[in-house]
Structure 1
Amino acid sequence: MPPARGLCLFPAQVLGGIVAAALVACMVPGNIAIVQTTLAPRFFTSLLVFTVLMLAAEKSKDTFIAPIGIGLALFVAEIAGVYYTGASLNPARSFGPCVAGASFQGYHWIYWVGPCLGAFIAAGYYHFVKFMNYEEVNPGQDSAGGDFDNEHA
C-alpha cells in the first residue's frame, strides 16, 4: 500500500472503531467495558498479515480465492487468540471500546505494539521467502497445463 493511502486509512480505521463502539454503547444496554479486550501473553497478527501477503499480494491464478484463505486464517487466529488477547488483531478494535467506555487498561499499549510487531515479523518473513525465491520450489504452479510434455502422460 502506498504510504499516503496508509496515512489516510489508519485514522479512518481508528475512527471507525470508536464510532462502532459508541453506536453499540448506545444501542445495547449495559456497560461497554465488557467488550474491551483483555490481555494474556500471545499475539496472532503475524499469522493474518503473512496470509494476506502470500494470498493477496502475490498474484497467481489462485488469487481470486484469496478471501477464503484470509477468512480461514482470521477464523483460526480469532479462535486461538480469544483466550490470550480477547482476539484483538487490530488496534482499532481494542481502542474503540476503550474510548466509548472512557476506560483504558494500564496495558492498553500492548494492543498497539503487539499487532505492529506481528505485522513487522510477517512482513520480514515475507521478504525473506521472496528473497529466497520461494517460487522455484514449485515451478510452473501457475501453469494452465499448456507446457505439459505429452510423453510423460
Structure 2
Amino acid sequence: MSFLIERPWILIVAMSVLFYISVGILYYQHTKRKKAFNTIKTMKRNKELSKVYLRIDNGYGEFYDMSFSVDGENWSSGVLFSDEFLTPSILMPSGEYEIKFSVKSRSGATVYYKKKGPFYTKIVVKPFIDTIIVFDNDTLASWQEDLKE
C-alpha cells in the first residue's frame, strides 16, 4: 500500500494500459465479425447459399437449438438463420447434411408450448434450389420436401 501511496501514477498507467488492451480486443472482434458478415453477404449475393425453410405440420411453433453435421459425428455450434421472420429459414451451402433440432410446439392457438427434441433428419441441399424441412407435431417425424412456388 505504501508503494501505491508513494507512486500514485502507477495506478493510472496500469488502468490506461488495460483500457487500450480492451479497446484492441474489441477492435479485433469487430473486424472479425465484419469480415464474416461480408463473406456471408457475398455468398448470398453469388447464390452459393440455398434457403432451407422450416415448417411445422399439425400445430404451431418454432425450431430452435439447430446444428448440422456433414459426417454425423462432428456437429457445428449452430446454423445461420436467414433474415426472414414470417417464413423462417436457414442458409446452407450445397451438400448432404444431418440436421439436429429441437422444437417449441403447440397444437392450437395458445400461449403454452412444449419443448420437444432433439430430432435428427437428413437433408440434401442442391445449389440454387430451396427446400423445406417439415416436422409433424403429431407423429414427431421430420422429412425434406421440395419447395413448390
Greater helix proportion? 1
Q: Greater CA radius of gyration, 1 or 2?
A: 2
More strand by share: 2
TM-score (norm 1): 0.26
Query: RCO higher in 1 or 2 (8 Å CA, sep ≥ 6)?
Result: 1
